[in-house]
A and B are shown apart, each in its own frame.
Chain A
Amino acid sequence: MKLSSKDVLGIKDLSVDEINLILDTAESFLEVSTRKIKKVPTLRGKTIINFFFEASTRTRTSFEIAGKRLSADMVNISAATSSVVKGETLTDTARTLEAMNPDIIVIRHSAAGAPHMLARLVKQSIINAGDGAHEHPTQALLDMLTIKTEKGRIAGLKVVIAGDIAHSRVARSNILGLIEMGAQVTVCGPAMMIPRDIDKMGVSVSYRMNDAIKDADIIMMLRIQLERQADNPFPSDREYSNYFSLNSRNIKMAKPDVLVMHPGPINRGIEIAPDIADGVKSLILKQVTNGVAVRMALLYLLAGGA
């Protein structure tokens, strides 16, 4: 089975079968990263460009490691050191990259829809590594893989996503994917961080952590994006933390076997208490490990095969 599109732009475009294909393939790739020789020859001779217009440690490194473990040649470009600073438009940069014949372009951009524009423009496969507050499909896929490997299933689980839902592409992609896969999703956060009409995506909304967390199987905390909060939506970090952090007190409301996730980087002590982030219920580092496998699966499914 193959993916139906040449690109992976968002969870919105993926069918249940395609999500399952990606997760199953990724599960098989997990083993490669545990070997002494962490490399397979599958994508020998393929070129993959990592094009990041925004800061990133884990996503960029994860894609780079994924590509290298598949023997592809990886090229990293960041906006700050590219011709973008000389005023080249995204279109011109894309055409220039296209002319060098890569096979896949991975792009992160602060503008929602930038990867989609690129996908229409060039013949190469485009993978969206995060576009504005729109989608971050590979993060949602690695989160779903983590839930599936830890809980054995996704359908029927109660998943709480808490934090700045309005600015979060991670939240949007996860809501789309988790609902599609049959989970029950509750979002929680301060009222001004919950988009109006979000219930139309099929989620329940709660403005109190204690209510939201009740009976949760999975709690996914989001990072308060201090860099996107120019208009100071809450009075202080301390106040946010008092009402919306996950800590050893309120986590007792959840199921005893609840697991905690966070896409990182974490603001220790703001949205998540350090003892929870580092505790036995935390899947934060497992998410990072699984991220490599998910990206290997996507690169393999897009570049492998005629």
Chain B
Amino acid sequence: MKTKKVVMNAEEIDRSVTRIASEILEANMGAEDLVIIGIRAGGMFLAKRLRDRISRTEGTEIPFGILDITLYRDDILTSNRKPALGKTDISFSLDLKKVILVDDVIFTGRTIRAAMDALIDFGRPKLIQLAVLIDRGHRELPIRADFVGRNLPSSFWEEVNVCLTETTGNDEVVIEEG
């Protein structure tokens, strides 16, 4: 039987987003040249929340895009699982921009590798920084996040799910095993 444990509630998620937003502004000394790109599907709502938070604090509209990494996956020709191709929507050049890449969970790092390859096709950013809500470890590539909501040691076979009001109706992070 599957057991389910809530590891972050709505309030904790909200506080993490607020903290990450100020860390991003602190590290980049403001919002100049900042753009926020969310990875579909998990990262895109978090990215939007971060964008809204930063835009409000700075009183300026931060450009926002959505990236689908399916076409850049390293298992697309070998895996039997075929994820549905989603839309990418980045309507501006990334040339000389400071790109904040956002995902919900970082695990093996393979998604982020694919995302970075995809981003480079939209221009040559000044830098790319990674923000995630959960770092669950088990990296298979030399990649780390710049901004982390919570480090969550997990077993490889567990599932860590970030549920957000935009999709499931409530904000919580759960670990499922079994």
Question: Which of B81, B84, B93 interacts with A24 by CB under 8 Å?
Answer: B84
B82 and chain A: residue at smallest CB distance = A305
Q: How far is the CB of A125 from chain B (nearest CB, A)?
A: 14
Contact with A along B71-107 (1 / 0, CB 8 A): 1100011111110111111000100000000000000
Chain B residues, Cβ within 8 Å of A85: none
A305 and chain B: residue at smallest CB distance = B82
Bound CA–CA A1/B123 (angstroms): 32
Q: Are A42 and B71 in contact (CB under 8 A)?
A: yes
Q: Are A1 and B84 in contact (CB under 8 A)?
A: yes
A265 within 8 A of B: no
A29 and chain B: residue at smallest CB distance = B85
Q: How far is the CB of B111 from chain A (nearest CB, A)?
A: 15
Give the interface of B toward A (CB within 8 A).
68, 71-72, 76-82, 84-89, 93, 117-118, 121-123
Max chain A Cβ within 10 angstroms of own Cβ: one of B71, B80, B87, B123: B71
Given contacts A1-B84, A40-B72, contact A306 B78 (CB under 8 A): yes
Using C-beta atoms within 8 Å of the partner chain, give the interface range for chain A.
20 to 34
Q: Are B71 and A36 in contact (CB under 8 A)?
A: no
A300 within 8 A of B: yes
Bound CA–CA A297/B71 (angstroms): 11
Bound CA–CA A128/B121 (angstroms): 32
Q: Are A36 and B85 in contact (CB under 8 A)?
A: no
Bound CA–CA A36/B120 (angstroms): 11
A26 and chain B: residue at smallest CB distance = B85
Given contacts A1-B82, A40-B71, A41-B117, contact A305 B77 (CB under 8 A): yes
Contact with B along A253-270 (1 / 0, CB 8 A): 000000000000000000
Q: Are B85 and A37 in contact (CB under 8 A)?
A: no
Q: How far is the CB of B114 from chain A (nearest CB, A)?
A: 9
Bound CA–CA A42/B71 (angstroms): 5
Q: Are B76 and A28 in contact (CB under 8 A)?
A: no
Interface residues in A13-54 by Cβ distance below 8 A to B read 24-25, 27-29, 31-32, 35-37, 39-43, 45-46
Give the interface of A toward B (CB within 8 A).
1-2, 24-25, 27-29, 31-32, 35-37, 39-43, 45-46, 70, 297, 300, 303-306
Bound CA–CA A115/B72 (angstroms): 31
Chain B residues, Cβ within 8 Å of A42: 71-72, 76
Chain B residues, Cβ within 8 Å of A29: 85
Beyond known contacts A28-B88, A39-B121: 16 more, CB 8 A cutoff: A2-B82, A27-B87, A31-B87, A31-B88, A31-B89, A32-B71, A35-B121, A36-B93, A41-B117, A43-B77, A45-B77, A70-B71, A297-B85, A305-B81, A306-B79, A306-B80
Question: Which of A1, A28, A37 interacts with B86 by CB under 8 Å?
Answer: A28
Question: Which of A25, A41, A45, A46 interacts with B85 by CB under 8 Å?
Answer: A25
Can you name 25 A-B residue pairings with CB atoms under 8 Å? A2-B82, A24-B85, A28-B68, A28-B85, A28-B86, A28-B88, A31-B89, A32-B71, A32-B88, A35-B121, A35-B122, A40-B72, A40-B118, A41-B71, A42-B71, A42-B76, A46-B77, A300-B71, A303-B77, A304-B77, A305-B76, A305-B77, A305-B79, A305-B81, A306-B77
Chain B residues, Cβ within 8 Å of A303: 77
Q: How far is the CB of B157 from chain A (nearest CB, A)?
A: 23
Question: Which of A37, A70, A300 interacts with B121 by CB under 8 Å?
Answer: A37
Chain A residues, Cβ within 8 Å of B117: 41
